[in-house]
Amino acid sequence: MEDLIVVVGLGNPGKKYANTRHNVGFWVVELLALKHKIKMTKLKFKALYGEGVICGKKVLLVMPQTYMNLSGESVRDIINWYKVPVKNIIIIYDDIDLPVGRLRIRPKGSAGTHNGMRSIIYQIMSDEFPRVRVGIDKPPEGWDLANYVLSKFSKEDREKIQQAVVSAADAVEGIIGCGVDQAMSKFNNIGT
């Protein structure tokens, strides 16, 4: 489906992980679903998803239920089923290389240190898709990375991240409506 846009928010399923740093991608998809009245009730492709319309385009909002490190299995299954071109996929995820609340949109690129992105690039054999990275900052000195990304935000960071989630949802709408270049120029300095 040449015209279908697939928006994938990365995170871990289950209550235990719901409010952790690693679930920022899920929060953005949940906000988009709320704003555009898209019911996230379908369970297939190892994902929870919903179908709807954003900016006049048919959209699939997706939250993989595989746990972060296997996110690519879900994305691959959706691409294969819907025959979606890779460039029509938008991935939203947390990034330790950006300060809390900073957004960075890119049209393509490597996974960096993110295991969910590594899994996606490995499974679909391409990195030629737009992504919205939401900064969660590096772990404090002495913290294990896995423990850090699975921890909750501090009170002062929670406000920044809530604003970043709203901006990231706006950025996704920008990519869908106007293209990735315009969205980059508008949103890449947010959170500075």
| First-to-last C-alpha distance (Å) of the chain | 37
Report the length, in residues, of the chain: 192
* Two tokens, residue 163: 């604003």
Alpha-carbon distance of 63 to 49, in angstroms, equals 6
Catalytic option among 11, 13, 21, 22: 22
Look at residues 51, 90, 91 and name the one whose alpha carbon lies nearest to residue 68: 91
Alpha-carbon distance of 71 to 80, in angstroms, equals 15
Look at residues 120, 125, 108 and name the one whose alpha carbon lies nearest to residue 180: 108
Alpha-carbon distance of 178 to 166, in angstroms, equals 18
Look at residues 145, 123, 133, 13 and name the one whose alpha carbon lies nearest to residue 76: 123
Alpha-carbon distance of 53 to 73, in angstroms, equals 25
Q: Do 135 and 101 form a contact (C-beta atoms < 8 A)?
A: yes
Respond yes or no: is residue 22 known to be catalytic: yes
Residues carrying an active site annotation: 22
